[in-house]
Amino acid sequence: MASKKKNSTVSWRWQRTHPALIVGHVLTAKANRVENQRVLYRQSDLDGACAIHSLCSVLTAMNLARGQALTQMAHRKYGLPADVWREFADVYHTGCMADDLVQRVSRLGLPLKLTARFAGDSDLDHFAVRHLYQGHAAMLSFRSVHTGKTHHWASAVGLAGWQQGRTSAVDTILLLDASGEEPSFREFNARLRAPQSAATKTLLTKPASKPIHWHYDSPEWPAESVRLTGVVVFKRSDE
User: Of 178, 185, 187, whose CA–CA distance to 221 is shortest?
Assistant: 178
Per-residue pLDDT reduced to its tens digit, 215-233: 999 988 888 999 999 999 9
Domains delineated in the chain: 19-236 (3.90.70)
Per-residue pLDDT reduced to its tens digit, 9-55: 788 999 999 999 999 999 999 988 789 999 999 999 889 999 999 99
Q: Digits of tens for pLDDT over the chain (239 positions)?
A: 554 445 567 889 999 999 999 999 999 999 887 899 999 999 998 899 999 999 999 999 999 999 999 999 999 999 999 999 999 999 999 999 999 999 999 999 999 999 999 998 989 999 999 999 999 999 999 999 988 778 999 999 999 998 888 888 899 999 999 999 999 999 999 999 998 766 677 888 888 888 999 999 998 888 899 999 999 999 999 87
Q: State in Å, rounded, how far the first CA of the chain is from the last one.
A: 62
Record the pTM.
Answer: 0.92
**Residue 141: which region, alpha, beta or left (left: phi > 0; alpha: psi -120 to 50)?**
beta
| Dihedral of the alpha carbons of 153, 115, 123, 49, in degrees to the nearest 10 | 10
